[in-house]
Amino acid sequence: MNKNIKFIWDFRGPDAKKIAEHHCIHLNDYINREKLNLQIVGVEQLNDSHHIAYLVVEENNMQKHRDALKPHRGQIYQD
């Protein structure tokens, strides 16, 4: 079974939530353009001034998408 990787972009400050939500629009555009099998995108609040946007990709395609999207960090995704 193939692992999935969660790419993460960090946004901090008073507008972090809005910026993370807007970043997800671009991630969804990327999903559609690249015709990705997984369509897991979202925003999470870590605290009042720190939100993340994330995209989950399959590990076997991770390097291609990482190079194109340049996430701040990543981790193994567990549903």
pTM of the model: 0.94
Is 35 part of any domain?
yes
Listed in sequence order, the DSSP H helices in the chain are: 16-34, 62-69
In-domain check, residue 10: yes
Overall domain count for the chain: 1
Q: How many CA atoms, within 13 angstroms, populate the side-chain half-sphere of residue 33? A: 9
pLDDT truncated to tens, each residue of the chain (79 aa)?
Answer: 689 999 999 999 999 999 999 999 999 999 999 999 889 999 999 999 999 999 999 999 999 999 999 999 999 998 7
> Would 65 be classed as within a structural domain?
no
Is 66 contained in some domain?
Answer: no
